[in-house]
Structure 1
Amino acid sequence: MLSPQWLDELRARVTLSGVIQRTVKLQRAGHEWKACCPFHNEKSPSFTVNDQKGFYHCFGCGAHGDVIRWMTDQQGLAFMDAVKELAAQAGMEVPAPDPRAAQRAEQRTTLIDVTDAAQRWFAGNLASTGGAAARAYLATRGFSEGVVREFGFGFAPGERQALKGALSQFPEELLIEAGMRITVEGKEPYDRFRDRLMLPIHDARGRVIAFGGRILSKDTDAPKYLNSPETPLFDKGRTLYNLHRAGPASRKSGRIVVVEGYMDVIALANAGFPEAVAPLGTALTEQQIELLWRLVEVPVLCFDGDAAGQRAAMRAITRTLPLLRPAHSLAIVRLPAGLDPDDLIRQQGPGAMAALLSQPASLLDTLWDHEREAQPLRSPEDKAGLKQRLMDHVETIQHPDIRALYKRELMDRFSAFAFPPRAFPARERSEWKPRGERGPLRPEASPDGGATMRRIMQGNGQDALAGAVLAGLARYPDVALAHADTLARFAEAEPRHASTIDALLDAAEGVDSASQLPISNEQGPGAPPDSTRFVFLKDTTDPATARVILAEAIALLVERPALEAALKAATARFATDPEGAFAEQQRLAERKLEIQRRLGQMASRGAALAAHDDSAHPAADNPPDDRKTD
């Protein structure tokens, strides 16, 4: 007998589209393949193949199945022949027949008979006189009659031997094996579920394999919810409640929603969201995550807004991180504090739930938010703890590319949080405003009068780029006004240039914008910066071209102090984060090289223009030599 685990491994190792393409011509359609259906005659393709989900489906005739079903239905092979052929392709050995496995399969079939009979009995009890309390509880939940029937609600009476009497056709051993009865040494076995509202739990094929029961009496210390124990039928870590209904629904909506409990699932279905599932009394397991990924690439977790719900979400995230692979992740909806899905729908309506489900947070965003809010972050030690927690999560990711990307993204967020831009010292100047808002100001009104303008025209006594830009702005005051906000920010980052930029902007305000004349220097021009290095200072440069290049030079000038500050911060991080700091330094150093390259291009363009002018005007730039030669 082949185990379900072995068959799952076989399906995982064989690419469905590759098998189908041997006999059917498939065309790529996004994440799927499409073709005209091989099971019925059609002119337009309605047959799809999805390798990620492992099934084919025809929207015309309803044909549906996995790779084994394809071999049996389309190729006409017997089940074991299909399995053997696929196993040979996958390099797997078919397990030898095991008499004990056959016996266990027969036992499971018998136990299914027990749980199916129990479900029919529970459902009948709900409609009886004894089920009045259960019906009253359902009325308070607002579930429609259709939902009550669809989900198979029932009632277990309070007597300890009621189920045994109702299912007397089955021996006691089977009732115990199916989880319906409890045995205690030295005492008579008794019914597990008593005085509870009952719900059947199904496997992926829709068979009843277990039960969940909600207590109806308030005067008891018994647990509010009780599930069947694990049995040969029921493995809670491999089972998702409502999967057999949510799977087909998810193919229509393109979404699967994971909630905490089965009452949440039913509340969502009652409100028009049939694609919901729930784990059964445990945190989401690796096997359940893989089941979800067969349906959609990014399932949506929607846990309660209380602390317990958020802890459940984080447990699911930590289980998922090692399993992450390209395109497969989780999305998380954070419900308002104190509300579960049923509360939200009751208070705000289905539209509120639809809005939350349409904009879930990513796994990475949720991880960052949770760890940032987990503890106070008042000291460097607190911040180092945040970084350590984030990196501990990252190290659990097995896929190397995803691990590297998560590390980069989380460290970028951490750096922005732990090393925010520092506030620069206040200066004795007001924030620049347009002239009309602060009265007439002229160059000679500044404290040092025309001396400031002379420094501008001479390069400001500072580095070459700053001097050239300031001189260029004096030549083209309209560019200064167009970039006034940017220049004001630069003055905040570089206080040494503040008074010069103030004076230049004031002067630019006083120039007739229609004339586009340069700002004059009433006390003599002095020696301007080297125009061969900066083409926008060249007299012969076309003004439109000069303005464009000057704007680029402004952008480079403003970026430099921010780049230097970032480099300083990265260097300071070496003691606590040598790897991250080194990577950040490398990135910033590459950016510095790019700035130098662009500055060199400016110089090259200036040199090229100078050479062109020299060749065009030899008389002006190269006076002839009157000396005679022999």
Structure 2
Amino acid sequence: MLTPQWLDQLRSRITLSALIGRTTRLQKAGREYKACCPFHNEKSPSFTVNDEKGFYHCFGCSAHGDAIRWMTDHQGLSFMDAVKELAAEAGMDVPAPDPRAAQAAEKRDTLHDVTAAAQAWFKQGLTAPQGGPARAYLATRGFDARTVERFGFGYAPDDRQALKRALERFPEAMLIEAGLLIEVEGRDPYDRFRGRLMLPIEDARGRVIAFGGRILAKGKTDAPKYLNSPDTPLFDKGRTLYNLHRAAPAARNSGRLVVVEGYMDVIALAAAGIDEAVAPLGTALTEHQIELLWRRVETPILCFDGDAAGQRAAMRAISRALPLLKPAHSLRIARLPEGLDPDDLIKAKGPRAMEALLAEARSLVDVLWESERDAQPLVTPEDKAGLKARLMAHVDAIQHPDIANLYRRELQDRYAAFAFPRRENRWQPDQARPAFSGRQGGQRGNWKDRPAPSTPESLKRLRHAASGGARDGLSAAVLAGLIRWPAELPRHAETLARTPGLDPRFFVLLECCDAAAALESGMLATILLDNGLEVPGAAEYSGLRFGFLTGDARADQAAAELAQAVDLLVERPALEAALAQATMRFENELTEDAFAEQQRLLKRKLEFDVRLRQMATRQAG
């Protein structure tokens, strides 16, 4: 007879990715493998294989199972033929079959049959006399009969053997495998859900795969308020979103998908007419769930409570999402008033208040900036430097290079405005004044309308401030870009002025920002020459073919690419200084922590060099 223990041993000896990889092309993706689903036609991969958990899962059609299920559903084998083939591969002997057991196995029910039968029994329990406490609780929530029926509420009596007796037609092992019974060594298995209001958890096809239960008895402090089924062959809580099968059609109509903290919040929103809501199941939002959301809408809304716990949940979700960000795909965050959940808000102010709150959801970058800015007091320079370090650590987690660069620039701009508030509008030229015409016909322009050359004292001060300034390819390319696109110089002036170790020519150009005349390329080149400095030429930045240096670059494209190059130029000295300090620390201490810090910064420096090469070649193409 095939016992659950023997079947578990069989599964453990089979590498699922190797089995599936014989007929399906798999690609490594972290700890998992991805592929286009072999069970339905699709253009982008939504089928994953996890060897650690021994499951495969498709986010598109919800195909889910283990090695045996693969052999029966994909290869078309019967259960026993699948077991025999896998056992032969694993070098295991199949136990001698009992003819009667073999006959029963051919007719045996699936786990879906078990969970469906359990759901029918729970629903019956809600209407029975013993379901009074559950009905009373539902009345306090204000759920009408349609909502109760639609979401399949039920009741599990406070009896350790009630469900086991009711579903005795199923083998005990199947009830355990479905997560309905708890198996303890040396004791009879007993019901997992007791004295609870029950809710079915369904897959994308609407089939019951698991359950959630809310305790009803007051004063049971040793029992969790909410209890969900454990992971089973049908149910993986990190890959499942409650109510997705109902919310997805509604999201196609509204273009919106709302993520709330629990399934009771989902039901409260649905009762108020907001049908496109889902919830994770007892865990923080996972990477798989974020991808699942993005398959439905590009920017789902996460709705969290306004208290500290909700703030932490928002930051956990943001941290999970940052490495996954891709063009046009992000998150928005809506924060409820402190002390209120969606049901409270709707009861107090009506559905329109909830709609208004969702409409005002903040962008991910807004919430990231505000959360880190408000996380700690920012009194000392060290406090403020810590804020910048935290922000840049978040940026480093973003894998998409263009999005990372845009986040870096956005957060650096916000940090600069916060840490270095502008005392005067020094860098903005007066656009109302006539522009200097530069060199025309080989003659110099109108000298009285252009900025005067820097005085010797000014040049001495600037060169002293830039002593040791780096004259390299990146610096020269940015200088040439600013000269070619002079209107961009005021935009980057403050950032460059605060950057140590720059090429002295930057500081001469920054002096021009005080001019009354609008800046032009010829004027900036002339200023450098008049002060005895070279105009950067192609020989200085050979190999860095930035798009903003080409003759056919559009103004908006050049501005964006030049901003990214300035970001790299500003980031480099801080990174190199940190790496040098970490290297010195390691040489002096020779500790594991010092070595790890040095290696982390060395990796960041190598990634920086790769970003520079990619940007300087990609943008020129």
The letter for the 2-side match of 1:385 is G
CA shift in 2, pair 1:101/1:256, >3 Å: farther
- TM-score w.r.t. structure 1 length? 0.57
The letter for the 1-side match of 2:500 is F
Per-residue deviation, residues 474-507 of structure 1 (Å, max 9, x unmatched): xxxxxxxxxxxxxxxxxxxxxxxxxxxxxxxxxx
> 1:197–1:213: 8 Å Cα contact kept in structure 2?
yes
CA shift in 2, pair 1:334/1:586, >3 Å: farther
Name the residue aligned to 1:250: 251
Per-residue deviation, residues 21-71 of structure 1 (Å, max 9, x unmatched): xxxxxxxxxxxxxxxxxxxxxxxxxxxxxx8999xxxxxxxxxx99999xx
CA shift in 2, pair 1:393/1:191, >3 Å: same
CA shift in 2, pair 1:228/1:568, >3 Å: closer
CA shift in 2, pair 1:285/1:100, >3 Å: farther
The letter for the 2-side match of 1:299 is P
> 1:52–1:294: 8 Å Cα contact kept in structure 2?
no
CA shift in 2, pair 1:423/1:236, >3 Å: same
Name the residue aligned to 1:286: 287
511, 520, 523: which one pairs with 1:597?
520
CA shift in 2, pair 1:107/1:205, >3 Å: farther
Q: Distance in 2 between matches of 1:583 and 1:341?
A: 58
Per-residue deviation, residues 378-433 of structure 1 (Å, max 9, x unmatched): 11111100000000000000000000010011001100110001279xxxxxxxxx
The letter for the 1-side match of 2:373 is R
The runs of at least 4 aligned residues of structure 1 exceeding 3 Å deviation read 1-8, 51-54, 65-69, 100-109, 530-535, 562-573, 581-596, 598-601
Q: What is the total number of aligned residue pairs between the two structures? A: 407
1:9 aligns with 2:35: yes
Name the residue aligned to 2:313: 312
Matches within 5 A, 1:383-532: 383-422=384-423
Cα distance, 1:534 vs. partner? 4.8
Q: Distance in 1 between matches of 2:338 and 2:240?
A: 28
Matches within 5 A, 1:79-90: none
CA RMSD across the alignment: 4.5
Q: Distance in 1 between matches of 2:362 and 2:203?
A: 30
Cα distance, 1:596 vs. partner? 3.7
> 1:156–1:195: 8 Å Cα contact kept in structure 2?
yes
The letter for the 2-side match of 1:335 is L
1:110 aligns with 2:110: yes
CA shift in 2, pair 1:241/1:100, >3 Å: farther
The letter for the 1-side match of 2:370 is D
Name the residue aligned to 2:226: 225
CA shift in 2, pair 1:367/1:564, >3 Å: closer
Partner of 1:295, secondary structure, is coil
Per-residue deviation, residues 483-539 of structure 1 (Å, max 9, x unmatched): xxxxxxxxxxxxxxxxxxxxxxxxxxxxxxxxxxxxxxxxxxxxxxx988459xxxx
Q: Which runs of 5+ in 1 are unaligned?
A: 20-50, 55-64, 70-79, 85-96, 425-464, 471-529, 536-559, 604-630
Partner of 1:574, secondary structure, is coil
Q: Distance in 1 between matches of 2:323 and 2:507?
A: 29
Q: Distance in 2 between matches of 1:194 and 1:155?
A: 9
CA shift in 2, pair 1:102/1:352, >3 Å: farther
Q: Distance in 2 between matches of 1:325 and 1:531?
A: 50
Cα distance, 1:9 vs. partner? 2.1
Name the residue aligned to 1:347: 348
Q: Distance in 2 between matches of 1:53 and 1:591?
A: 53
> 2:156–2:196: 8 Å Cα contact kept in structure 1?
yes
Q: Distance in 2 between matches of 1:146 and 1:368?
A: 43
> 2:37–2:46: 8 Å Cα contact kept in structure 1?
no
Partner of 1:210, secondary structure, is strand
> 1:181–1:192: 8 Å Cα contact kept in structure 2?
yes
1:132 aligns with 2:132: yes
1:571 aligns with 2:497: yes
> 2:272–2:346: 8 Å Cα contact kept in structure 1?
yes
Q: Distance in 2 between matches of 1:335 and 1:178?
A: 36
Partner of 2:295, secondary structure, is helix
Q: Distance in 2 between matches of 1:99 and 1:582?
A: 74
Q: Distance in 1 between matches of 2:514 and 2:108?
A: 69
Partner of 1:336, secondary structure, is coil
> 2:306–2:338: 8 Å Cα contact kept in structure 1?
yes
The letter for the 1-side match of 2:202 is H
Cα distance, 1:339 vs. partner? 1.4
Between the two proteins, what is the percent identity of the paired residues?
Answer: 59
1:99 aligns with 2:94: no
CA shift in 2, pair 1:242/1:422, >3 Å: same
Q: Distance in 1 between matches of 2:255 and 2:192?
A: 38
CA shift in 2, pair 1:587/1:368, >3 Å: farther
Partner of 1:377, secondary structure, is coil
Name the residue aligned to 1:508: none
Q: Distance in 2 between matches of 1:68 and 1:586?
A: 63
Q: Distance in 1 between matches of 2:505 and 2:267?
A: 50
> 1:213–1:226: 8 Å Cα contact kept in structure 2?
yes
Q: Distance in 1 between matches of 2:420 and 2:108?
A: 61
- TM-score w.r.t. structure 2 length? 0.58
Cα distance, 1:244 vs. partner? 0.6
Name the residue aligned to 1:240: 241
> 1:419–1:569: 8 Å Cα contact kept in structure 2?
no
Q: Distance in 1 between matches of 2:521 and 2:399?
A: 40
